[in-house]
A and B are shown apart, each in its own frame.
Chain A
Amino acid sequence: MSDVSQPAAHPPVTDWLNDFDHTDPQWTENPFPIWDELRAASPVVHTERFLGCYLPTTYEAVREIANDPEHFSSRRIIVRDARPEVTQNAAPPITSDPPVHKPAKQLLLPPFTPDAMKKLEPRVRTICNELIDGFVAEKKVDAAARYTKHIPVRAIAHMLGIPEGDSDLFINWIHMILELGIKDENLLLQAVHEMSDYFRDHIEQRRKHPTDDLISYLMNARNKDGQPLEDAHVLGSLRLLLIAGIDTTWSAIGSSLWHLARTPADRERLIAEPELMPTAVEEFLRAYSPVTMAREVIKERTVSGCPVKPGNMVLLSFPAANRDPKMFPDADKVVIDRRENRHAAFGLGIHRCIGSNLARMEMQVALEEWLKRIPDFRLDPAGTVTWSQGTVRGPRQLPFLLGKAM
C-alpha cells in the first residue's frame, strides 16, 4: 500500500510558460499572477507534465473548448499523473460525451431546478444556524473546519437521503479522489470502491423500503426505452452527486468568507444592502471560481490559433477564464455590485454544472446566516490560511477572530 499522507513529489516549477503544474505549491497558494503571466504569453500553453497537458488561459479559448465535445472528450475529467483505462458509467453524465450525455443529464436536471432548491432552502438555513450555534460564543474559529465544510455535505446528504452524520466519511473519500488521487491511483480506487459499496447498501435498503429521496428517484427513473437504469449507471450518478456537490461549494463559501474577512467595506455594504447578496455571490463565483475541469484531446484542432494534439489532456480552467481582463473590466478586482457578469464558474456548454442552482442557494444562505450572526470577523494573524490542491480550489483552514477588533 502506498503512503496515505505523501503523494508522489513533482519537481518545483521554474518555467511556468513551458512546464506549468497546477499541483505546484506556488499555484495552490496564489495562482492569479501565474495565469496573468501565461495569458500575456499565449491563449493556450502546454506542459509535458501529466503525460502532456494544455492550459487555455483566456475566456475565449476556454469557451471554444467547452463548446466542442467532438474534439475534446469528457471521458477523463481530471488531469492526473496516470491515464488509467476509461470505464463506462464512471460518473454520468459528466464523464460522457454526446450522444450518451444528454439523456443522462436530462434525468438529473429536474431535482436541481431553482424551484426545487427553494424547497430545500429552509433545511440549509437550519444547518447553517446549527453550525454557528456550535462556535458563535468563542472568540476564534477555523471557519473551514467548523462551518463551510459541513454545509454542502449535509445538504446533499439530505437530498440523497443518506445520514448527515456520515459526513466525515464522505469528506474523506472526496479528499482521496480529488486531491490525493491525482498522484495516487490506489487511493483513488479505494475511495471509489468504498463509496460504491456504501451506495449499494442504500440501494438494497430502498428495494425493501422505498423513500422519496434522490436515490429512490434514480432507482425509479426510466431510460428512453422505458427500462430502469442499469445499476452501474445509478451508482455512477450517485457517486457524481456526492463528489461534485461537496468540495466545490465548500470552497466557494470559504473563499467568499475569506474575502469578507479581509474586506470590511464589502462586509458592511452587504449588511447594509442585503439585496446586493445575489450579485455579490456571482462576483465571488467569478473571482474565486473553485472548479477546474479537464478534457482529453481526441482529434487534432486549433484553439485561438494554437494547434492542440490528441493524446494530451486539457486543464479547462474556468477560474483563469474568469480573470481574463478582455472579458471582465477590472478582472482582478472583486466588485460586489458588478452588473455584467457572464462568468464561467459553472462551466459552459453541455456540461454546465447540474448543481449550479444548489450551489448558488447554499452560498447565499451560508453568507446571509453568517453575516446576520457574525457581522464582525477577520483573519487570525496567528493562524495560517491553507488552500486545497488541484481540481477544486478553496480554503481548507480559515482561522478567524470573531467580534470587533479591539
Chain B
Amino acid sequence: MAERLKVHVDPDKCQGHARCKALAPELFELDEYGNAREAGDGTVPVGLEDKAWLAKANCPEIAIDVIEE
C-alpha cells in the first residue's frame, strides 16, 4: 500500500495564485513572480500526503498533478 506521491506543477497553467505554497509550503516553491513549481523533484515526504492532495484540490487553475508511483 505504501505508494509514494509526487507533486507536479504545470507551468503553462499556473497563474501564481500561491494557494499551493500557503497550504503546503514544504512541497512548493514560488519564483520572483509568485509562480509555483514543485520543491526539489516533487517527491512528497511521508506524512505530507494529505497536504499534497489539499494543494491539488485548491489550485484554481487545476495546475497541480499528484502522481502515485
- A residues neighboring B (CB under 8 Å): 106, 109-110, 112-115, 278, 282, 339-344, 346, 348-350, 352, 356-357
Contacts and interface: CB of A to CB of B under 8 A. Distances in A.
A109 B54 contact: no
Interface of B: 15-18, 21-22, 30, 32-34, 54, 57-62
Contact of A113 (B30, B59, B61): B30
A114 B34 CA distance: 7
A109 B57 contact: no
Contact of A109 (B16, B58, B59): B16
Contacts, number: 52
B60 A348 contact: yes
Nearest to B21: A114
A114 B17 contact: no
A110 B59 CA distance: 20
A113 B21 CA distance: 11
A342 B33 CA distance: 21
Contact of B17 (A110, A340, A350, A356): A356
Given A340-B58, A342-B57, A114 B33 contact: no
Contacts of A342: 57-60, 62
A349 B60 CA distance: 9
A341 B55 CA distance: 10
A278 B24 CA distance: 13
Contact of A114 (B18, B58, B59, B62): B18
A341 B32 contact: no
A106 B34 CA distance: 10
A344 B57 contact: no
Nearest to A106: B33
B32 A113 contact: yes
Contacts of B61: 348-349, 352
A122 B15 CA distance: 27
A341 B58 contact: yes
Contacts of A348: 15, 60-61
A268 B16 CA distance: 33
A116 to B, nearest CB: 9
Nearest to B62: A342
A223 to B, nearest CB: 16
Nearest to A339: B54
A360 to B, nearest CB: 8
20 contacts: A106-B33, A109-B32, A110-B33, A110-B34, A113-B30, A114-B22, A278-B22, A339-B54, A340-B54, A340-B57, A341-B58, A342-B57, A344-B60, A348-B15, A349-B15, A352-B15, A352-B16, A352-B17, A352-B61, A357-B34
Contacts of B18: 113-114, 356-357
Contacts of B60: 342-344, 346, 348, 352
B30 A114 contact: yes
Nearest to B35: A109
